[in-house]
Amino acid sequence: MTNTLYDALFAPLAGRQTVLLKLASGGSISGDAFLRMVARFGHALRAAGVQPGDRVAVQVAKSPEALAVYGATVAAGAVFLPLNTAYTPEEVGYFLGNATPRVFLCDSVRQAALTPVAAQHGARLLTLGVTGGGELAELAAGLPDTLAVAPRGPEDLAAILYTSGTTGRSKGAMLSHDNLLSNARVLADLWRFTDRDVLLHALPIFHTHGLFVASNLSLLTGGSMIFLPGFDTDQAIGLLPQATAMMGVPTFYTRLLDDPRLDRALTGHMRLFISGSAPLLAETHRAFEERTGLRILERYGMTETNMNTSNPYDGERRAGTVGLPLPGVELRIMGEAGEVARGEVGVIEVRGPNVFKGYWQMPEKTREELREDGWFITGDLGTQDADGYVTIVGRAKDLIITGGYNVYPKEVEMLLDEQSGVLESAVIGLPHPDFGEAVFAVLTAQKGVTLDAGAVLAGLRDRLARFKQPKGALVVESLPRNTMGKVQKNLLRAEYAGWFKG
């Protein structure tokens, strides 16, 4: 009996005595020891009533045990449902009600708050502590460390990942075994990962980036991971000499750049730095290369698709772009009348083995965003140049229509970020009595700089058409971000909605 994802990622760990996970404590876990943990947890899930096709919802801190639960769920033929650790009990209630998991795994410290939520939606609640204790571990203790794996094929569901839900209720993207495995195989080849790689892993594992890109890639290729609970600059700098590759969000790289210890000597042995989950400023890209001699590789993916594009491993890594469509992934830029010409802005659509199967329990949303011929409407606005490189200019929902003219926030942000003293900007549309919407800029300042918003806007007068220029601006200490580093423009729009109303 075969289990597509388990056979590729976890079965090869049998008998492996070399390190799979290097821990922040200085300890380590071999591949074989990890697989035995997966087996015991798999038996525990079955003892808790989990059958093939059932959902297993997980809201726990990052740990080796948490990663093993992922493997155990796959082994049991169930569907893994990781939840952001920041979600409140009310938010968790929505996910449990929508996905109806058989088991819900939570941190021990949140058991009291989440017990009534799980009971309301018929999920069996089990706990797992950050150090590996809890009810799941107790249930697994003494159970066999080998497991007869449930048969699962390429089209069977492996996971449900919920979107961030910034424009309404979160949607559960259904990802098959082949969605995840095909993408990992393409990335392993494209990014040249092998069993000699040591990945510095400081990402959360409730998200595509940390779980299905970073972890799956290391498991598939037989490498090892320095498995950290989160990103700490001191810790990362101390451990970089042991690594060959790092995956991160842009914030990781800006924090490293703030530390004078980041230099060519520290990173000379590193093979690859990868950035994703949020746009990497071109300035960050250039500054990192100046300090280290290495160009960050930026790529583009989504909850519904895993990775879609990547700058090349060999070849030009263009700052400000997310590179070229991955092998096997089709990409097109669409306007109202069909596919647009190269260089023109439109909505990005993708098709390929990486594209999800639809939204759980939401057939209407699935029909709206996933065409019958397999093209997924991403909702991202972008361009593709003559060489095929893709540039993201914003989300369709972030498009500003002012006085009948379209303004793409990214175009304005790029010029604002070039202004003296500006660290970063976010451009949004706010209600305006004359124009319907007006362009508005939220700015943050570089360290030690007192920023004059009016002076910044004055710097755009000769560089942008008048209708694109912000009609107002504000300097703030920091921009609101989600856990993966994406600026939450919906929060900015809500906070400053009355700015032009007098």
pLDDT of residue 36: 98
- Equal fold, 4-12+29-153 vs 399-501: no
- Report the distance separating Cα 66 and Cα 129, nearest Å: 9
- Report the distance separating Cα 199 and Cα 476, nearest Å: 35
- Report the distance separating Cα 213 and Cα 202, nearest Å: 13
CATH of domain 198-395: 3.40.50.12780
pLDDT of residue 502: 61
What pTM does this model have?
0.86
Percent of the chain's residues with pLDDT above 90: 82
Tokens encoding 481:
């971000």
3-state secondary structure (DSSP) of residue 146: coil
Q: Is the dihedral of CA 273, 210, 195, 308 positive or negative?
A: negative
- pLDDT tens per residue, range 436-458: 788 999 999 999 999 999 999 99
- pLDDT tens per residue, range 328-380: 999 999 998 999 999 999 999 999 999 999 999 999 999 999 999 999 999 99
The residue among 75 and 502 whose pLDDT is bigger is 75
DSSP 150: P
DSSP 285: H
Residue 24 CA, chain-centre distance (Å), reads 22
- At the top level of CATH, the class of 4-12+29-153 is alpha beta
Residue 167, pLDDT above cutoff 60: no
CA distances from 29 to 20, 26, 32, 307, 377 (A): 6, 10, 8, 28, 41
At the topology level, CATH places domain 399-501 in GMP Synthetase; Chain A, domain 3 (3.30.300)
CA distances from 224 to 20, 93, 228, 276, 309 (A): 4, 36, 12, 21, 25
Domain ranges of the chain: 4-12+29-153, 198-395, 399-501
3-state secondary structure (DSSP) of residue 236: helix
Q: Is the dihedral of CA 66, 101, 109, 76 positive or negative?
A: negative
Half-sphere exposure at residue 239, Cβ-oriented, CA atoms within 13 angstroms: 23
From the CA atom positions of the chain, what is the Rg in Å? 23
Residue type, 393: V
Residue 386 CA, chain-centre distance (Å), reads 28
pLDDT of residue 35: 98
